[in-house]
Amino acid sequence: MEKYEKIKVVGRGAFGIVHLCRRRTDGALVILKEIPVEQMTRDERLAAQNECQVLKLLNHPNIIEYYENFLEDKALMIAMEYAPGGTLADYIQKRCNSLLDEDTILHFFVQILLALYHVHNKLILHRDLKTQNILLDKHQMIVKIGDFGISKILVSKSKAYTVVGTPCYISPELCEGKPYNQKSDIWALGCVLYELASLKRAFEAANLPALVLKIMSGTFAPISDRYSPELRQLILNMLNLDPSKRPQLNEIMALPICIRPLLNLYTDIGSVKMRRIEKPLSTMQTGSHSRPGGRVSGTRTRGGLSGLSSTKMMHSLPLSSVYTWGSGISTPLRLPMLNTEVLQVSLGRTQKMGVTKSGRLITWEAPSVGSGEPSLPGAVEQMQPQFVSRFLEGQSGVTIKSVSCGDLFTTCMTDRGIIMTFGSGSNGCLGHGNFNDVTQPKIVEALLGYELIQVSCGASHVLAVTNEREVFSWGRGDNGRLGMGTQDTHNAPQQVNIPVEFEAQRVLCGVDCSMVISTQHQILACGSNRFNKLGLDKINDTEEPPACCQVEEIHTFQPVQSAPLNVEKIVYIDIGTAHSAAVTEKGQCFTFGSNQHGQLGCSSRRSSRVPFPVPGLQGITMAACGDAFTLAIGAALIQFRVTWVRSPSGFTGGRQEQSLEGATVLHRTTHTYGHF
């Protein structure tokens, strides 16, 4: 130890203590890893020797440099390079919720990529690649991989079998005890890239069995929409459950997304000289990757792009727009967005939810009372936003495909057919086997093992259908809306008896009733049939059925009986509070149920239980029913004619194309009739 002066202990590793020391010859700071060998087992001694052997083989600017090793007081001392910038894990933690720019992410990533490429070329597996083992220089610009204590030298092309490494970063093949090769390091590299982009780990759980299940399912929360599709795809490719489908390191380096950050590095033999990256270059997309929103010009200099000058920056259009109206909002109000593209929306009594293109849940909420700044006497009060948007946390590492809202609760379905629910647990609507409230999405465990393809929420009950055409229901059972033959409430999913010849394709929940649509476009219904809103009255012509033949309520799913609904192929149907609308294969729109507010589209306020073909409508493809109005959409390629209606519940609509004011929404004819 005469060569070194100990300054302080900077860490305690798996096998010993890590000291920060000063080298007496030149005053340079170095790390001394002290590994006691006297009380070590044979395997532990081999691991310590292995680290020395591995470090001797490696010589790369992005790998912690090895200096020497020696014995001191029955301990093995390994002298190596000191990285004063801390670990990448510390760097990420200090960011809190402030996401990194994509160029900064790639700047770190390509350095790790180069280092791992060097390791693999030496026929070495790192086997414990994680952000805690990735170190930074004092400027936090140069990345260096360290801690090769459990690395394995491959003396041949054979695969290793030993299960080692940090649980959150281990690959699926390790979880199954299968042989692995360099592709396990690529899985860990994907986990590191994900962590850089999301500031959290891809796979985390309260215990090891739960963590293994998450890793084996390969599900994780998508990264922010602010990042490019190429970055999202790269993460998906590296975190592929099949090792053979994960890209090789040289294939990753050849990707367009990696070429520019690689070129921006000054690389030389044994050294890397860096300059701090200027303000993000993400606005400088080129070629087919260009995005609208302005042009940026720059000049190429040695080591990267500099001298950025902006021409007139154009205000970029939102990726999508979502509007709401009703419940006191007299004209359509554009909801605030989070620079994301919303593909589907739903709303309940209090909640407004959407699903983004990347599979995240977005919610719009009224700002909390008193959130504004206190104003001085006589000051003009600032207008507070009516709604604020945020991404919902707690998706449990899954990609959301669709969302459906009931009263005070929400269900969502993942891309792997898993149902998750949250909100009020009253009436057992969450399906968790109890009546407890849940604030974040939680898996409906009773449906694990089934692949759900569609789910629908009523005010206080839920229906879901699987890819095997099985139907499940749960929640409030009044009026027989669950189709279980009783009016009992169920707080866990119950399989519904459906006729054998009937293949369920879609389910639909009303306020107090339910429908199932078959692959043959036939309809089953149960629950309240007030005003014949489910078409369960046996009507063979246009005459009213006698009172004795009128069905007011039914507790099991039965085929619709009212003509012509019982013979027509129904391609779309929706249920309102007291009426329904069905669209046939021929493009006709039939309404049935209450006509108190003219929602059936009749010229008169007739009261009839007979399904009514709305006159003048041709080529209808979809219909929607509110409390007191109906909306139908046709396929004619003409301009949208806007007609606003007032309804007690209000309505929220979402789209992906031009703004609502543009009068060309969806390029379809829309008809609205009902209570004004």
The CA-CA-CA angle for residues 546, 551, 552, to 5°, reads 120
Q: What per-residue confidence (pLDDT) applies to 71?
A: 76
Q: H/E element holding 518?
A: strand 513-518
Q: Phi and psi at residue 50, in whole multiples of 5°?
A: -65, -40
Q: What per-residue confidence (pLDDT) applies to 288?
A: 34
* Biggest distance spanned by C-alpha atoms of the chain: 107
Q: What per-residue confidence (pLDDT) applies to 395?
A: 58
The CA-CA-CA angle for residues 160, 34, 16, to 5°, reads 60
Our measurement of the distance from residue 233's CA atom to the centroid of its chain's CA atoms, rounded to an integer in Å, reads 14
Looking up tokens 């033999």 gives 269
Which residues neighbour 636 within 8 Å (Cβ) at sequence distance 6 or greater? 619, 668, 669
Give how far Cα 441 sits from Cα of 34, 164, 444, Å: 46, 32, 9
Residue 468 and residue 485: Cα distance in Å, rounded? 22
Which residue, among 527, 479, 457, 470, has the nearest Cα to 497 in the 3D structure?
Answer: 470
Q: What per-residue confidence (pLDDT) applies to 383?
A: 47
Which residue, among 584, 585, 591, 587, has the nearest Cα to 631 in the 3D structure?
Answer: 591
3-state DSSP call for residue 592?
Answer: strand
Q: Phi and psi at residue 441, in whole multiples of 5°?
A: -50, 130
Give how far Cα 663 sits from Cα of 199, 623, 624, 667, Å: 41, 20, 20, 9
503 close to 520: Cβ distance less than 8 angstroms: yes
Which residues neighbour 548 within 8 Å (Cβ) at sequence distance 6 or greater? none
Radius of gyration in angstroms for the set of CA atoms belonging to the chain, rounded to a whole number: 31
Q: What is the per-residue pLDDT across 612-630, written as a single tens digit (0 to 9) for each? A: 899 888 889 999 998 888 9
The CA-CA-CA angle for residues 113, 81, 165, to 5°, reads 50
Residue 653 and residue 676: Cα distance in Å, rounded? 19
Residue 241 and residue 43: Cα distance in Å, rounded? 31
283 close to 294: Cβ distance less than 8 angstroms: yes
3-state DSSP call for residue 92?
Answer: helix
For residue 138, what are its two tokens?
A: 């004092």
Could you tell me what percentage of the chain is helix, strand and coil, using 3-state DSSP and rounding each to the nearest 5?
20, 30, 50
Long-range contacts of 290-293, Cβ-Cβ distance < 8 Å, separation of 24 or more: 291/316, 292/316, 292/317, 293/317
Residue 402 and residue 414: Cα distance in Å, rounded? 7
Q: What per-residue confidence (pLDDT) applies to 549?
A: 79
Q: What per-residue confidence (pLDDT) applies to 107?
A: 92
350 close to 408: Cβ distance less than 8 angstroms: yes
For residue 1, what are its two tokens?
A: 């130890």
Looking up tokens 């301009």 gives 639
Going along the chain from its start, the domains and CATH numbers come out as 4-81 (3.30.200.20), 88-273 (1.10.510.10), 521-635 (no CATH)
Q: Kindly list the catalytic residues.
A: 128
DSSP state of 600: T
DSSP 370-418: T-SPPPPTTPPPPPPPS-EEEEPP--TT--EEEEEE-SSEEEEEETTS-
Q: Catalogue the E-assigned strands of 271-348.
A: 271-273, 296-301, 304-310, 321-326, 329-334, 342-347
List, in sequence order, every residue forming a beta bridge with 558; answer none if it has no partner.
525
What is this structure's pTM? 0.53
442 close to 422: Cβ distance less than 8 angstroms: yes
Q: What per-residue confidence (pLDDT) applies to 526?
A: 97
Give the residues of the chain that fall short of pLDDT 50: 150-165, 267-317, 369-383, 637-668, 676
Looking up tokens 């930074």 gives 136
Residue 409 and residue 390: Cα distance in Å, rounded? 17
Q: How many residues does the chain have?
A: 676
Which residues neighbour 285 within 8 Å (Cβ) at sequence distance 6 or greater? 228, 291
Which residue, among 497, 103, 495, 518, has the nearest Cα to 277 in the 3D structure?
Answer: 103
